[in-house]
């Protein structure tokens, strides 16, 4: 028996400009404990879907379900309080605050003992523990991405939404970020991820969705999508060889 869905979108329609839709009825299911990745070309609607789920962009039609409850159009702070964590691609830290202060902001939506959780988070991100007194604005792009994830995880979310976590990072930090995501997933956290490094993301995902022009095009396990000739030719660079650094 498959795990129960924790997050679903049903026939989701959304856009930024009046009468111009980016999403045209997208269906996504994320089951408890899964890592699910959204891939597709630029402009496919991947980040738009994540923003609609977390309440940053009110859907025009369709539904967003969290643990079977309709949360369509709820405000972001309410959705986060319901157990959804969100790590945006840009402007994901407060640069004038220290690393430790940034992490502590995640306690606003926490459940449980905050002091213990802060200790646990710094154990999960030891490189941040060494930088805890430094202003976040002095960190590298990879360190900022780690900090954004740490701040989200301290709130103990049931599902984490990651929007392009490797975007703009050096190869070393791309490796570090993906390793950390795999570690978080292995610990049981449910993840919905938008990622430009499609091959690498699908290789570590339980399942994936390929979006194109705001519509579902393909879905399957990560391995199935990596070896589907149509997916490879249209969206993964036209070669069926799976490179570890792709």
Domains and CATH numbers, the chain: 1-81+198-246 (3.40.50.300)
Residue whose token pair is 């003992």? 113
Instruction: Check whether 243 has a pLDDT greater than 60.
Output: no
> Is it the case that residue 50 has pLDDT exceeding 70?
yes
Nearest CA to 62 out of 4, 20, 15 is that of 15
Distance CA 15, CA 5 (A): 25
Torsion angle (degrees, nearest 10) of CA 221, 225, 229, 232: -170
Distance of alpha carbon 108 from the chain centroid: 20
Closest CA to 148 of 217, 221, 97: 97
| Gap between the Cα atoms of 39 and 212, Å rounded | 9
Question: pTM for this one?
Answer: 0.90
**Residue 116: pLDDT over 80:** no
Residue with tokens 């570590």: 204
Rounded Cα distance, 54 and 75, in Å: 8
Order the strands of the 69-70 sheet from edge to edge.
Answer: 23-31, 5-14, 61-66, 69-70
Read off the pLDDT of each residue in 200-211 and give the average, rounded to a whole number.
97
The CB-side HSE value for 72 (13 A sphere, CA atoms) comes to 16
The confidence score (pLDDT) of residue 119 equals: 78
């Amino acid at each position: 028996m498959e795990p129960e869905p924790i997050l679903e979108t049903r026939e989701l329609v959304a856009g930024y400009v009046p009468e111009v839709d980016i999403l045209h009825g997208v269906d996504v299911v994320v089951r408890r404990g899964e890592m699910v990745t959204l891939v597709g070309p630029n402009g496919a609607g991947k980040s738009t879907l994540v923003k609609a789920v977390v309440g940053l962009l009110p859907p025009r039609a369709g539904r967003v379900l969290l643990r079977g409850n309709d949360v369509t159009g709820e405000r972001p702070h309410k959705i986060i309080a319901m157990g959804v964590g969100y790590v945006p691609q840009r402007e994901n830290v407060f640069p004038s605050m220290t690393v430790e202060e940034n992490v502590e902001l995640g306690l606003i939506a926490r459940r449980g003992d905050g002091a213990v959780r802060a200790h646990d988070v710094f154990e999960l991100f030891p490189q941040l523990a060494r930088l805890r007194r430094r202003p976040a604005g002095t960190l590298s792009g990879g360190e900022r991405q780690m900090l954004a994830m740490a701040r989200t995880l301290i709130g103990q979310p049931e599902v984490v939404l990651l929007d392009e976590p490797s975007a703009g990072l050096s190869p070393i930090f791309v490796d570090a970020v993906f390793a950390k995501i795999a570690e978080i997933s292995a610990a049981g956290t449910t993840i919905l991820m938008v990622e430009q490094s499609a091959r690498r993301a699908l290789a570590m995902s339980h399942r994936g969705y390929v979006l194109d022009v705001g519509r579902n095009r393909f879905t399957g396990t990560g391995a199935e999508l990596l070896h589907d000739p149509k997916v490879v030719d249209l969206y993964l660079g036209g070669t069926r060889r799976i490179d570890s650094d792709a």
